[in-house]
Structure 1
Amino acid sequence: MTIILYATRVSAAGGRKGRIHSADGILDLQLAIPKELGGMGGATNPEQLFAGGYAACFENALLRVGRQSGHRFADGDVEVIAEIGLSRNEAGAFVLHAALAVTIASVDQGTAETLVRGADDICPYSNAIRGNVEVAISVAVR
């Protein structure tokens, strides 16, 4: 039996040109089709929302893995940039692809790569899309 630790509910009306609204009222956003896809732009879109969620979730997983291995990072020591792309497969269906650019301060390259692999193992977003979405992860130290 799976124990749900947290659940949220968001409704959408109007598709990519509509609005999303969370049941608790905290999230209430207008959506727009990006100019690159022929839309007007000027508002967020599902890919931006996914990228923001993935970046935040992955960074939190990385901070947790770091703590578990004895590394305490200060604010600003870790940066995760997520890029979500939309393309078509051979059958013409829309598919997502993702890239994560991770930068970590105060550790060597090998340690950074080990921490990122650990974060990828526990991040709910990574686990949700593994095997379904192509994800490229780059790791840099500063």
Structure 2
Amino acid sequence: MKTIHIAEMIAQGGRDGSVEAPEGSFAVQLSTDEKPESVTPEHLFAGAYGSCFLGALKNAAETAHLPTEGFTVLARAHLEEDRRGGYNLNVELRAAMPGISESDARHVLNLAHQTCPYSKATRGNINVSLAFD
């Protein structure tokens, strides 16, 4: 296997700490205080999964000779507590694909879910729901 990219981040302080790139190009303060402007690890996961999935979605559409102009993905990561006090993630991925028919949208969503590295990594571990507008 050929390594394409290595990303490195430093986490400090846990869920109420910080995450930053060693070279200083990205840094975010995390907080679990439930204020609208607060950033949680789930925000970072949703953003990373959403952007990766969008890349896979656009690739699947291009392979099917479909236009990709205006494609976006809204990703929601739900942190949930189970009955035993353990925690789980569930993810919703909602794609906007202007100009794409319903059947083509379903097709490229499923193709993207098969090829996206985040989908592969989470398959069988978390629930991921796919939808489109």
Q: Same fold (TM over 0.5)?
A: yes
Q: How does 1:100-111 map to 2 (within 5 A)?
A: 100-111=93-104
Percent identity over paired residues: 28
Provide the residue aligned with 2:124 in structure 1.
131
The residue correspondences of 1:1-142 to structure 2 (distance < 5 A) are 2-35=1-34, 42-74=37-69, 76=70, 78-140=71-133
Structure 2 gaps of 5+ residues are none
Q: In structure 1, give the amino acid aligned to 2:39.
A: T
Q: CA deviation at 1:24?
A: 2.5
Aligned-partner SS, 2:88: strand
Taking the aligned partners of 1:4 and 1:101, their CA distance within structure 2 comes to 29
Q: What's the secondary structure of 2:19's corresponding residue?
A: strand
CA deviations 1:6-56 (Å, max 9, x no partner) are 111111111111111112321111111142xxxx67431100111111111
Taking structure 1 as the reference length, what is the TM-score of the superposition?
0.86
1:100/1:135 contact within 8 Å kept: yes
How many aligned positions are there? Answer: 133
Does the Cα contact within 8 Å between 1:100 and 1:136 map onto a contact in 2?
yes
Partner letter of residue 44 of structure 2? L
CA RMSD, aligned part only?
A: 1.5
Check 1:17–1:41 CA distance in 2 against 1; reply closer, same or farther (3 A cut). farther
| Contiguous gaps of at least 5 residues in structure 1 | none
Aligned equivalents of 1:24 and 1:3: distance in 2?
Answer: 24
Taking structure 1 as reference, are residues 61 and 10 closer, same or farther at Cα in structure 2, changes over 3 Å only? same
8 Å Cα contact 1:20/1:29 also seen in 2: yes
Which whole-Å CA distance do the structure 1 matches of 2:7 and 2:52 have between them?
15
**1:97 & 1:124 partners in 2: Cα distance?**
16
In 2, Cα distance between equivalents of 1:103 and 1:6: 28
CA distance in 2 between counterparts of 1:41 and 1:109 reads 34
Distance 1:124 1:82, change over 3 A: same
